[in-house]
Each structure stands twice: as structure tokens, then as C-alpha cells.
Amino acid sequence: MVVNFQWPWLGVIIPCVLIAGIGYGSHLFVFAAYLSNEKQIIFEVLLSILWFSYYLAIVTDAGTPPKNFQPPEGEWKRWCKKCKNYKPERSHHCKTCKKCVLQMDHHCPWTYNCVGHSNLPHFLRFLVWVMVCTTFVAVELGKVALKYYEDRNLPSYLVNKVEMFAVILLLPLDIFVLASILILFIRCVINFAFKGMTQIEVWELERIESQIRNGRIWTQIKKNYRALHGKELPKLVSWSKHSRFHEEEPELEEDDISDLEGYEYEIEESIEEEEDAVASSVVSKTETRHDFTSDDLIFPYDLGFWRNLTDACGSPLVWMFPWGKPRTSGYLFIKNEDVEEDQLGLPWPPDGGHQENLEGFVDELDSIQLEDLSEEGKRRKLMRIRDPRSTLRRTEWMNDFGETLDDFGVDLDAEDAENDHLLAK
């Protein structure tokens, strides 16, 4: 869960206190008596680099869209009501920075700045230098703590009480900071390097997968496909269901089916009859749900581990230097080759961040008896009952960690969802 402070400046003061307290406290009370002059100088150099990297993470702008930006054909045309400008793909308006941010990852309370396209390398370097310094401190303080244990039978008057108190206080605190930053760094690397995603896009993917599982997404998908391609959505075939590695979902137990009593509804929407032969390739909403799974979704910006990493942080020769920067513009992106196989044929996100009206999804009459439903229909009903998020709007939806778009700093009031539309190719 992203931390939010009532007084935002606390988010910068707390890291400063931790860096100064752990770094200079360890040096003053412990390292000065145990480390050689060379090691002490090395530590102070590392600490200075850490301060500088933190400064750059705070003051470097994440990047804003060009004025009078016009989205290319085949992309979403999204208007920001507060910036009075069109937003490029992957951009969002930050409620704290009060501007649109290119390739926005999240608003970081610890830097009082958005993490986005232009300052992601500085943010990652800051995390790296925090880990380097805290690892140094943990190793050296650990050696001193081990020495205390070995000398535990010595008289107490031979032990420096101030030094011991510093070790007892700073070592656990340092390990806590190291573990926290390591987890955050791993999460960032997994998202950016292995998936090619921002944290917001990971959240968006989870939301779309949820909508596919409960079947709610298809009305909007059909509408978007018709707007972009000028024809009805063709029949979708799941590659995973035809794979030799595919495992059939287990049948519902009797206890599960009994949970459905009183909730006997199924959303069944038939398409309009076509006068030509194209009709045979168009399917009903229920059929589309059955044939297409979340495994068939294609995220267009994942270019592979190495390409994702170098596009985000530049050449590996400058990764650890302050002049290392991304290779891309931040508002026009290359798509991966898998897009050609994308059955939905829509820009990301395929539903445009719009979720269909709840009326047809929630208030469907119990016109179909439970025994008349297929196993798939029963499963969807059970999912609808057990997951209360299935009826939430995008502005309210939360992932498994309880995070909403608001937690990442996105200003939902700046979005003009009613007027967003696709630019036909």
C-alpha cells in the first residue's frame, strides 16, 4: 500500500533523518573506533553519492507531454481536463504534482515527486545506493555485534556503553531499511525489466483480468472494436485452451453450487442479426467470454528484459552515473511483435479504462434457472458473489493489496472518460 502523509514534506524529512542517523551515527559512534581510515573515507564517499542521488530523485522532473500533443492513429484520444491537453499513451495526471506525467509509475511520498519516464533512472540509482550503504553498515555493525557476543564474559566496565547502545539501535534499523528498499527495488525491476510495465499498468492489467474472468468487460470491448475497425468483434479463440499444457478448471462442488441459490442470474447478450455472411464469425457475449481468457491478453509495451531495461535506463555503461537517462521520448512507444497476433486489436488498455454500465451486469433478472446453466455460467456467478470488486467502477476498483488508482497518485477528476475515444486507422 502506498503511504500518504497529511504533511507531504514529512515524506522527505523521514528519509533524511534515517540516512543521517544511520550513516553518520554509525560512523561517529562505531566506525571511528573500528575501521581503518581508508574504509571510513570509502564509506563517506558512498554516503555522499547517496545524498546526491536522493537529491536528483527529488528535483528531476518525471516528464510532461508536449503542448498541443496529438495522439497517433489507432490510439486512445484522452483529454486532460486540468492540463487542457491530450495525454500520450501511458500518461496520467498526478493529483500532487498537478500535471500530466509521462509513463507515470506512481507518486513517491519519499521523494515528494512522481516517478515516471525521465527520472526513473535517478529513482533506481537512489535505491541502489541506499542498498549499498545499508549493506556496508549492516556488515560492519554485524562484525561489532559478533565481537560483543564473543566478549560477553568480560566485565561490563570494559564495554563502551554508548557504542553498544548505538549498535543495538542502529543495526536492526539499518536491516529494516535495507529489507524494505530491497523489496521495493525487486518490485520495480520485475515491473520495468521483466514485464515492461509501470506499477499503474500492473494494476490496470489485474483489473482487466478480473473483468475478463467475471465477463463484465465484453460490452465495452465490442464497442471499442466497432469504433476502431468499423465492424463487429470476430470470434476469439483462446490459445491456452488449445495448448497441450492447458488444464481444465475443476468442476464446481455441491457446496459451491448451493452458494449460488438466490443469485440465479446470467448475463446473456445476443448480437444483432447480420444480413451477410459476416454474421457467422460474430459471437454472443457469453461465447466470447468462454473462448478468451486473461492468458490471451497481450501487453504491447513489453519488448523483452534487455530492451525494457535499456529503454528505461539507457546504456549499461552509464547506469550508475547521474547522466544516465532513458532512450525513448516518453510519449511515443514501439510495440512488440506480439501485437500482430492480438485478437482484440485494440490499444492498451483494451477497454480504455471504461467499464460498462453496471445496470445490466448487476440487476439482471433471474430468468434462467440454476440447473439450466452451464458449468461456466455457474462459475461466473460464484465469482460474482465471492469477489465484491466485480461490481466496482474503475475509480473504486482495488487490487489484491487494496491499492486503488488514487493510491498511486492518479488524479481521477482530471480524466474525461465520457469524451475519450479511439482514433480510427
CA distances from 263 to 214, 232, 250, 364, 370 (A): 14, 31, 21, 10, 9
Least confident of 173-187, 315-329, 345-359, 407-421: 345-359
Q: Is residue 230 over pLDDT 50?
A: yes
- Per the DSSP assignment, residues forming a β-bridge with 94 are 99, 410
Known catalytic membership, residue 108: yes
pLDDT band for position 270 (cuts 50, 70, 90): very low
14 or 160: which carries more pLDDT confidence? 14
pLDDT above 90 (res 123): yes
Long-range Cβ pairs for the range 38-47 (8 Å, 24+): 43/133, 43/136, 46/129, 46/132, 46/133, 46/136, 47/19, 47/23, 47/133
Q: Per-residue pLDDT tens for 297-324?
A: 889 999 999 999 999 998 999 998 988 8
Query: Does position 71 have pLDDT exceeding 60, yes or no?
Result: yes
Among the listed residues 356, 335, 74, 419, the one whose alpha carbon sits nearest the alpha carbon of residue 229: 74
Q: d(Cα 196, Cα 198) in Å, to the nearest integer?
A: 7
Q: For position 365, what pLDDT does the model report?
A: 35
pLDDT of res. 243:
47
pLDDT at residue number 98? 93
Which of 231-245, 263-277, 356-370 has the lowest average pLDDT? 263-277
Q: What is the pLDDT of residue 286?
A: 42
pTM exceeds cut of 0.95:
no
326-345, pLDDT tens digit by residue?
999 989 999 998 888 888 88
Catalytic residue (one of 80, 108, 114, 188): 108
Whether 321 and 361 have beta carbons less than 8 Å apart is answered as no
Q: Quick one: pLDDT at residue 41?
A: 97
Considering only residues 306 and 244, tell me which one the structure prediction assigns the higher pLDDT: 306
Compare 238 and 188 and report the one with higher pLDDT.
Answer: 188
Q: Cα separation of 336 and 348, whole Å? A: 12
Distance of alpha carbon 40 from alpha carbon 42, whole angstroms: 5
pLDDT, residue 375, reads 58
Residue 20 pLDDT class (50, 70, 90 cuts) = very high
Instruction: Report CA-CA distances (Å) from 335 to 66, 194, 348.
Output: 21, 15, 11
Alpha carbon distance 228, 346 (integer Å): 8
Nearest to 187 by CA among 176, 198, 173: 198
Handedness of CA 238, 240, 243, 248 (dihedral sign): negative
- The strand pair at 106-108 and 113-115 is best described as antiparallel
Spatial distance between the Cα atoms of 298 and 405, rounded to a whole number of angstroms: 22
pLDDT mean across residues, the chain: 81
pLDDT in tens, 24-52: 999 999 999 999 999 999 999 999 999 99
Which residue, 56, 48, 190, is CA-closest to 120? 56
